[in-house]
Structure 1
Amino acid sequence: MADVFKDGLLRGQHALITGGGSGINRRIAERFAAQGAAVSIVGRSLERAEGAAEAIRAAGGQARGFSADVRDFDVLATSFGQAHANFGPVDICVAGAAGNFVAEAENISSNGFKTVVDIDLVGTWNTFRAALTLLRAGRANLLAISAVQSVMPMAAQAHVCAAKAGIDMLVRTLSIEWAARGVRCNAIAPGPVANTEGMRRLAPEGDTSWAHVLAGIPMARAADADEIADLALFLCSGAAPYIHGTVIAIDGGQTNLGSLPFGAALLESLRDR
């Protein structure tokens, strides 16, 4: 864990995180809990969500897992209500649930395209809208997990590019409408993150795929999940009170070079199947 932050930055706050049972969202949940927040982890798998919560409790934090599919607003709202009853008003809401697969546009079915848009974009909307009435009055942070595909067109990622671009514009729009409520709205757009399920899917050829990916990153490495969690913590802390309606890329400079190397890796993985 990075030691650049003062201890207890989120003490007394309640953080609600969708998709927090695994990957970078789980690391965000762990980091928030380590900084004193009570964390509600919401995922489709109650076993996975509660497993992440149990690990936080074992480390001395406060956490509980809840089950909901972000595509189902009513079920999601019910789980959020349970989280509110358990830990009180929501100070931080992270919309992190996401879906992805590698496919060229001509091979993506209507249902496949819709599934990714429903999980990523509609799921982000459902998360924020269901949390709205549960937010702490006059002070709350909404944080969406976008991706570099939101601004960087990429081969074999048409569905994800469309969904993530929608998330970015949603965050910007809500930042206008909900600012008077005392709600800050921002997004993080990670590039490749090492040791995550998402990158295992996007780099199926192992070292060969990674060579392509890293060729398109000026820093020549992937992010660590801790680096994503650090940015999330900064944005949701008292250190960022005037950052609002912003999408921050955390990609080692990847968006400055473009998507061709990453897209080449994805297309190559499809040809090798």
Structure 2
Amino acid sequence: MVETTDIFHSNIFRGKTAFVTGGGSGICLGMATALARHGASVSIAGRTQSKLDSARALIMANVPNAKVAVFALDVRNPQLLESAMKETNERFGSIDFVVCGAAGNFLCPAEKLSLNAFKTVIDIDLVGTFNTCKAALPYLKVSKGLIINVTATLQYKGTPVEHLLSIMMVHACAAKAGVDALTRVLALEWGQYGIRVNGIAPGPIDDTQGMSNLMPELMRENFKRAIPLERFGHVKDIEFTTVYLCSEAAKLVTGTIEVVDGGEWLAGPMSVMSVMEDEKAIEADLKKKKDTFQKSKAAKL
């Protein structure tokens, strides 16, 4: 796959600063790396200091001379976000791009989902996104900057195996639907300040931990064949969309949710069902993943 620098100039974000939540791993780390690759100073925020340190080292390894700051914080705490934004602005001189990507998810059918577990995902994904946007507002007013909210496609159709009751993500679907609405409303309200607000909705992204945690192994090839472009996404696909939205090429684009999924959500659940060969085996695999997730995640919520 080509690099973003093969399409966009390598220094288009020189003198700009990005603040990225959830930047310690996965898609958001890729987004932060792409912005640094094109000249932006980058602050990444997450809950685990060791992950943040590893993320900074990875960015520095891929982008020599990159300027990277890290902040260990919880997006549910607005005071910590305000402090990190203030320090970022003082250190780098501005905040031009904000990526809201902190998220939580696990597998659990709604019938067995506790209020605390449901509320935790809402608080991280939706309230955390609002907290981040609000903390960044004073600086984005000055820079006439951009917010990118990382959302999903689950809420457009339910999960692709919704008929199998062993997998449900009602908590994530509700949270991401809220993020979509928040994106559009903020685009309307904050356009007067020259601030653009958009979303990126990744589909199945193959090189992420979430994909390995949530996608049944027996379903992978069938699922891929049901995607119109017949491939899973990669973090690099999200990097391209990020650079585009942050660039002057998208200066009139606001209030949009850029779906990056190869047409998967348009195809819908039934296209996946039509190519399944062993539903009982898939159901057993889903149950195993759900049980593993509940043991490792739900107990912490």
Task: Establish whether TM, by shorter chain, passes 0.5.
Answer: yes
* Contact 2:95 2:143 (C-alpha < 8 Å) held by counterparts: no
The 1-side partners of 2:284 and 2:203 are apart by: 19
User: Structure 1 residues 211 and 173, CA, compared in 2 at 3 Å: closer, same or farther?
Assistant: same
Could you say which residue in structure 1 is the equivalent of 2:296? none
Unaligned runs of 5+ in 1: none
Alignment of 1:197-208 (within 5 A): 197-203=209-215, 205-206=216-217, 208=218
SS in 2 for 1:6: coil
Could you say which residue in structure 2 is the equivalent of 1:43? 46
Unaligned runs of 5+ in 2: 163-167, 274-278, 292-301
The 2-side partners of 1:18 and 1:37 are apart by: 16
SS in 1 for 2:76: coil
Find the structure with the greater CA-based Rg: 2
Question: Could you say which structure has the higher helix fraction?
Answer: 2
Could you say which residue in structure 2 is the equivalent of 1:271? 287
* Contact 1:46 1:67 (C-alpha < 8 Å) held by counterparts: yes
Q: Which stretch of the first structure deviates more once superposed, 48-57 or 227-236? A: 48-57
The 1-side partners of 2:48 and 2:141 are apart by: 27
Q: Which stretch of the first structure deviates more once superposed, 14-23 or 216-225? A: 216-225
* Contact 2:94 2:143 (C-alpha < 8 Å) held by counterparts: no
Seq. identity, %: 38
User: Structure 1 residues 271 and 57, CA, compared in 2 at 3 Å: closer, same or farther?
Assistant: closer
Aligned residues: 271
TM-score normalized with structure 1 length: 0.93
RMSD of aligned alpha carbons:
2.0
User: Structure 1 residues 183 and 213, CA, compared in 2 at 3 Å: closer, same or farther?
Assistant: same
Could you say which residue in structure 2 is the equivalent of 1:219? 229
Equivalent residue letter for 1:30: T
Give the counterpart of 1:72 among 67, 77, 97.
Answer: 77
The 1-side partners of 2:56 and 2:103 are apart by: 19
**Residue 134 of structure 1, CA deviation:** 2.1
1:228 and 2:238 equivalent?
A: yes
* Contact 1:19 1:97 (C-alpha < 8 Å) held by counterparts: yes
The 2-side partners of 1:253 and 1:184 are apart by: 25
**Residue 268 of structure 1, CA deviation:** 4.8
User: Structure 1 residues 252 and 81, CA, compared in 2 at 3 Å: closer, same or farther?
Assistant: same
**Residue 54 of structure 1, CA deviation:** 2.6
Equivalent residue letter for 2:234: D
Could you say which residue in structure 2 is the equivalent of 1:34? 37
User: Structure 1 residues 220 and 268, CA, compared in 2 at 3 Å: closer, same or farther?
Assistant: farther
Q: Deviations over 1:93-114 (max 9, x none)?
A: 0001111111211121111111
**Residue 42 of structure 1, CA deviation:** 0.6
TM-score normalized with structure 2 length: 0.85
The 2-side partners of 1:105 and 1:214 are apart by: 27
